Structure formats: structure tokens, C-alpha cells
Amino acid sequence: MRLLVIRHGESEADLLHVREGRADFELTERGHRQAEAMGGYVSQNYQIDKLYCSTLKRAAQTAEHLGAKVGLPLILDEHLMEFNNGLLAGLEHGVAEKKYPRVETPLHLAVYEQESALDFRYRAEYMLSKLISENDEDSTIAAVTHGGMINQLYRAFFRLPVDSEFGFKTGDTGIHEWIIDKGSRIVVKANHIPHNL
């Protein structure tokens, strides 16, 4: 099975310099151009069988561009949403840091109405299991999501500890291509951005 994990394009939050997370911002004009270019690249290089995406606007709008290119409907799934950052969502970075300073908590607990690290990882584990179990081994699946969730999916993919400090960077519409074959897990491409927009 081939899995393309794709980050959304530039969103309005990037221009406003605010904490995004669950704040539901739309794509910018540039974000739409990025998504259109990504969709063109994917449609020319892969035969996509199913297209999953987060329900947040920036991911769903990005997936719509891809869906139009590959002729597939979107399968919306809340498990692909970005980290639930609770009261920090939509706040300017400096304001968020002053009002809600970083607090160390056990993995199963959270502050400021956020989800816990354990719950965030669980969503990634659930989603990866769902993608693998719902599709045949010969299929190519795309999932459009968010930078934080992509990090969690990588950790689930590599079976890393929940409190692992490894990070995986993803730019706007960055594509990660993974292969799952009889138990082996291979990264073919990481943060591949075939356009310069």
C-alpha cells in the first residue's frame, strides 16, 4: 500500500501570525495556488484510489483541489484534525505565551482546554490503523492533514514512543510518500514540495 500524507497550503493564520491548531482559518490565495500545483503533481504521478482529509477548512480546501484533479470525493475524518490547542487557538503568538505559559503535564493530562499528548497520539494511531485496514495492499491513498498530525502519524508509522522528541518538518503542501508492504514500512519521500509558490 502506498500512502501520501499531505499538509494543507498556506492559511490566513500564517499571515496573521496567530496560533492555529483548531482555529478554523481558510487558505490564502497563495495557499489555493499551492494546493492546485500539488494536485497537478499528484494527479500526474500517482493513481489515487481514495482521498481522506481533515474537516478543518484549510485541509478540506487543499483536498478539494486534489480531488478535482484525481476525480475523487473527499472522505472527511475528524481524526485527521490538527492538535486541539484549546484556549490558545487563534491567539497571536506573544499573547498566547503570556496568557497561557507552557506547563509540563503527564502524557494523559492537559491544560487550557487542550487535548493531551496521549489523546493526540491515539488519534494518529487510530487513523493509520484505519487507512491500512480499509484499503487493499495494492492501493494508493492520500490523506490531507496538518503539520502536527503529520508528526504524530510519523511517530505511529515508525512505532516511536509516545513521548518521543523526534520531529518531522512539513512545508505548505509538503508530500510524504510511505509504503507499507507485508509489515515493512518505508519512507520514499519526505516533505516533497514539487512547486515554488
Cell numbers representing residue 77 in the block? 475524518
Which helix (H) or strand (E) segment is 178 a member of? strand 175-181
Q: Which of 82, 115, 125, 177 is catalytic?
A: 82
Residue 72 is given by DSSP the state -
Active site residue 36: no
Distances (CA, A) of 134 to 1, 13, 52, 64, 125: 11, 33, 12, 21, 14
Does residue 138 contact residue 1 with C-beta atoms inside 8 Å? yes
Active site residue 82: yes
Cell numbers representing residue 65 in the block? 483541489
Please count the other Cβ atoms lying within 10 Å of the Cβ belonging to residue 129.
11
Q: Which of 8, 32, 79, 146 is catalytic?
A: 8
Q: Using CA of residue 141, residue 147, residue 153, residue 154, what is the dihedral sign? A: positive
Active site residues: 8, 82
